[in-house]
Structure formats: C-alpha cells, structure tokens
Amino acid sequence: MGKLLVVALVGIAAALVAERLVAFRNRLNASREVAPVSLPNCRLIKGIEAGSEDIDILPNGLAFISSGLKYPGLKSFAPDKPGEIFLLDLNEDNPRAVELRISRGFDLASFNPHGISTYVDKDDTVYLFVVNHPHLKSTVELFKFVEDDNSLVHLKTIRHDLLTSVNDVVAMGPDCFYATNDHYFSDFILMFLEMFLGLTWSNVVYYSPKEVKEVASGFYSANGINISPDKKYIYVADILDHNVYVMEKHANWSLTHVKMLQLDTLVDNLSIDPHTGDIWTGCHPNGMKLFYYDPENLPASEVLRIQNILSEEPVVTRVYSDNGSVLQGSSVASIYGGKLLIGTVFHRALYCDL
C-alpha cells in the first residue's frame, strides 16, 4: 500500500510539472517562427553593440537610448562593462550614437539601465527617469538633461519597498511616475519559479514623494508602460500573456481596467506616436530563444503598430520582422519623422525608413 501511495504521489507530481511545463512553453511562445517583413534603407546604428533596451524620443527628435542591460538569465555581449545612456539626433541624415556623460557622484560602475522615460517641464527642463539595477537590485534614477554639454546631472536615486523588480517607468511629472514590476520576487531562482508556475503577482505602482501605491495587479509579467497623448489612458504590456492593457487614469492616480488587446507575441516596451496615438511595440516572437540564447538559433525581432486601440476593432500591423540574422531580441520601436528606430535587449539598434 505504501509503495502504491508513493507511485501515485510521484505520478501526480510529474503530471503537475508536465502541465506547468506546457503552459510555460506556451507563455514563451516556444514553437513560434516568424516570416520576415522588411523595411527600406535599414542600417545598424554605429556604436551600439550591447543593447538598446528602451528608447524615448523628445518632440524635437533627440532620442535617449538605454544600453548595456545585465539581467538574470539574459545574454550580455559586454558583461563587464557598465551600462550607458546614448543620445541620437534623429534630425541628422546619419545619426550617430553619442554617450551621455553622467555627473560626478553617481556610481557609474554599477550602472545597469533598463526602462526609461522623459518628462519635459513647463520651463523646458528635460528630466530623464532611468530604471537601474545596481547589483541586480531595482532603483529609479532621476537625471536632468543638459543639452549643451551632452550630459546628465544626477538628481536623485529612488528606492521603495514597492519598487522591487522594476522594468519600465512612465513619467507623470518632474518627480512622479508609474512603474511596472515584472516579477513579484527579485531573487533569480524565485523569479524563475514565479514564471514557471505562472503566478500572476506582477503589478504597476504609482510613485510620488508624497504617496506610493499599487495601482494595478494580476499580471504574469508587466513590462512596457506608456501614456496616451491626451494623458487619459495608461497602456501596459504583459509580456508573458502576449497582450496590451488599456487603463483609465484618475485624478488620484488610481487606474481602472478599460480593455485588453490580445496579441500572439511577447510584447516588451511600448512607444506612442504623439500625433496619431498609435502604439509601437518591440516584441519577442519566441521567448524561449531570448531566454536560452543559442548562436545557432538566434532570438528574432518583431515590431507591431497598433492603431485605434480604444475602438471596437483596433488594427494591428506587423511592420518589421527578422529572424535574428540582422537584429536580435527587439524590445522597443519608436518613430520620428517617417523613420523607425528599433532597440534590442542586448544586441544592436536598427534605423529604417517607413
């Protein structure tokens, strides 16, 4: 009887693990391959070799790019080099990546930038919020951009118990923002277990110096976050649920669910066309290839444009796709002046005509 019980328990455990494994593979889109979609005049940006995870473009065409992310389980082509913020002037015919100098007093050696967001104040001061993972912890760094000097002045480091595993931020003012936590846990093993078991413990947090609170929860892994041009709606990508949520923003900064748009790819960061309100996303068609890097089987890239997300029938267009031979692991796509700039988690950055 004892042996029968052991066999039964082992059988049940094996069935549960197998069921979780199938669900995990589905969340990673492990069997998806993509057909290529090309764009004219694509060129790789010189000087960006180790990632361009997030991009934020100012109305005047200056693009900030975060580079050099080191993240548990993800490839890095420059594991010993600190991260950087690059600036690209998209008004130039052949924009060059210029590394922004960071003011003294900031710990550059442990700089590990991830999601970014800009805020232009009434007096035209440009603030740059940068998710940072020094020693694999999570902070949000606030900088002031000094254009004449191609530099960033560090203003403060924001840490909070609710900012545990931050992926991206969207600035709401010179000192407040919404942030996504892509996992509940920050420890790598627990993070993996959280993903493998399919726990929906990831959330969105509002931060200001006066108030910090959870404003949305129940995500498999909340990743990119951005705001509609009319400032009424917040968009959040759930990378492991392959969708984009639309939430209404209220005067007290709380968010309420409006709708969800289901896609078939792992949606990373979200950029907004300030003129049309279209959402541009950098996506991972197959998360297995991203997390288990194999030079013989490269992670692909995919860019989607989502038009009229609030309407009954949003239009989703695959604007660009590549099997990794040109661009690996696209995480963001932003447009300016009829051109598309695509960033990646750990690879290069591509600039194409539309």
Footprint on this chain of Ca ion (rule: CB under 5 A): 54, 115, 117, 167-168, 223, 268-269
Nearer to Ca ion, 24 or 235 (CB): 235
Q: What's the CA angle centered on 176, arms 172 and 178, to 5 degrees? A: 70
* 112 labelled binding-site residue: no
Three-state secondary structure call for residue 346? coil
Which residues is 157 bridged to in the sheet?
A: 141
Nearer to Ca ion, 67 or 223 (CB): 223
In the numeric block, the tokens 């939430």 are attached to: 247
Nearer to Ca ion, 49 or 54 (CB): 54
Shortest approach of Ca ion to residue 167 CB, angstroms?
A: 5
Nearer to Ca ion, 49 or 238 (CB): 238
* 168 labelled binding-site residue: yes
Shortest approach of Ca ion to residue 342 CB, angstroms?
A: 14
Tell me the two tokens of residue 137: 């912890």
* 223 labelled binding-site residue: yes
Tell me the two tokens of residue 251: 């005067």
Q: Are 278 and 243 in contact (CB under 8 A)?
A: no
Shortest approach of Ca ion to residue 83 CB, angstroms?
A: 14
Shortest approach of Ca ion to residue 139 CB, angstroms?
A: 16
* 116 labelled binding-site residue: yes
Three-state secondary structure call for residue 18? helix
* Residues annotated as part of the active site: 114
In the numeric block, the tokens 């696209």 are attached to: 330
Is the CA virtual torsion 140, 143, 223, 245 positive or negative? positive
* 94 labelled binding-site residue: no
CA distance 205 to 227: 14
Annotated binding site for Ca(2+): 53-54, 116, 167-168, 223, 268-269
Annotated binding site: 53-54, 116, 167-168, 223, 268-269
